[in-house]
């Protein structure tokens, strides 16, 4: 397949005020794509738009709340009205927290699904309506490497990421005959505000506080992989071969997965006990 020339092809990005969304917006703009930036924090969005305009690109900052149907539909409509027919949409808004499933209340569980999972659908659907009319387009969904294998303490987050992966895979086959590409993105730990937000919601947490630097990547690495996928669409976007093979291995051999995750849970417990004792002192 020949690489797609992205110049002049607009993309709408949800969750574009920081992290992977911001990095992807800058990378897409550098590739010549007009970018619609969506998020709740308009001050940060305007700053990203200014960065893109200083690069000589085109950017449109639009307030977006992915828990609202009208907000999502208005975001896509305004993006098309001001930038032209969208070539792609990136459902990227989301958050996480560290908490055992049995301690996670219904309100907390519903909130994370409303943002991460249903927010994806709310952004994708109005874009897909337009893609179907043109029989072309590209939907990208930001899942996670741990959407393939649940991590103790992050059951709620992993569940939303797994749900995104499953609907993305189904949509790929449903929409491909109609000329629409669907890709899921599976980052490993990324140095973004995700960790700050997870720490705030979790009151700390062993994973967010103690993830080795070897397992943390810059958001720009994910952004480059996303642009490469836009040029040559594929099923999944991974930025770590080790993580991809590791998740595949654990999925294939559940007893091995139990051993690995069991040791991880024990490590979490030891870290939490040490931190608890330190705070008492």
Question: Which residue ranges in the chain fall short of pLDDT 70?
Answer: 190-215, 264-281
The distance of Cα 215 from the centroid of its chain, to the nearest Å, equals 17
Q: HSE-up of 11 (CA within 13 Å, CB side)?
A: 31
Question: Which residue matches tokens 């937000």?
Answer: 197
Here the tokens at position 40 are 């709740």
- Per-residue HEC secondary structure of 65-115 comes to CCCCHHHHHHHHHHHHHHHCCCCEEEECCCCCCCCCHHHCCHHHHHHHHHH
Distance between CA atoms of residues 265 and 144, nearest Å: 20
pLDDT value of position 254:
78
- State which H helix or E strand residue 246 sits in: helix 241-252
Here the tokens at position 72 are 């999502």
Best CA proximity match to 74, nearest among 27, 6, 14, 164: 14
CA angle 47, 49, 51 (to 5 degrees): 70
CATH of the domain spanning 11-240: 3.40.50.720
Here the tokens at position 250 are 């654990």
For 85, 192, 205, the CA distances from 158, given in Å and listed in that order, are: 33, 18, 16
pLDDT value of position 280:
47
Distance between CA atoms of residues 62 and 231, nearest Å: 25
pLDDT tens-place string over residues 218-270: 899 999 999 999 999 999 999 988 888 888 777 787 787 778 777 766 655 55
pLDDT value of position 275:
46
- Contact by Cβ (8 Å): 262, 268: no
Question: Which residues have a Cβ under 8 Å from the Cβ of 128 and sit 6 or more positions away?
Answer: 137, 139, 175, 180
Best CA proximity match to 138, nearest among 88, 80, 85, 77: 88
Here the tokens at position 144 are 């996670």
pLDDT value of position 6:
98
Cross-strand partners of 181: 138
**Checking DSSP bridges between strand 88-91 and strand 189-190, what pairing results, if any?**
unpaired
Distance between CA atoms of residues 202 and 36, nearest Å: 32
Q: How many residues does the chain have?
A: 281
């Amino acid at each position: 397949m020949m690489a797609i020339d992205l110049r002049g092809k607009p993309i709408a990005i949800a969750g574009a005020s920081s992290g992977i969304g911001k990095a992807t917006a800058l990378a897409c703009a550098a590739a010549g794509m007009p970018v619609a930036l969506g998020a709740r924090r308009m001050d940060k969005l305007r700053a990203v738009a200014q960065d893109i305009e200083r690069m000589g690109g085109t950017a449109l900052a639009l307030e977006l709340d992915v828990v609202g149907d009208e907000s999502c539909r208005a975001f896509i409509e305004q993006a098309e009205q001001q930038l032209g027919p969208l070539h792609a949409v990136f459902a990227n808004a989301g958050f996480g927290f560290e908490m055992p499933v049995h301690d996670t209340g219904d309100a907390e569980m519903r909130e994370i699904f409303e943002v991460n999972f249903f927010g994806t659908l709310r952004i994708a659907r109005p874009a897909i309506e337009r893609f179907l009319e043109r029989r072309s387009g590209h939907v990208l969904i930001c899942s996670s490497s741990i959407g393939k294998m649940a991590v103790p303490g992050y059951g709620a987050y992993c569940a939303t990421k797994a749900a995104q992966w499953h609907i993305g895979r189904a949509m790929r086959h449903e929409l491909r005959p109609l000329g629409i590409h669907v890709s899921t993105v599976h980052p490993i730990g990324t140095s973004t505000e995700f960790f700050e937000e997870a720490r705030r919601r979790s009151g700390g947490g062993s994973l967010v506080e103690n993830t080795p630097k070897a397992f943390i990547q810059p958001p720009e690495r994910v952004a480059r992989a996303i642009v490469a996928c836009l040029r040559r669409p594929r099923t999944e976007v991974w930025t770590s071969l080790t993580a991809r093979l590791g998740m595949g291995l654990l999925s294939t051999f559940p007893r091995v997965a139990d051993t690995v995750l069991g040791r991880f849970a024990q490590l979490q417990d030891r870290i939490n006990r040490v931190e608890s004792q330190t705070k008492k002192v």
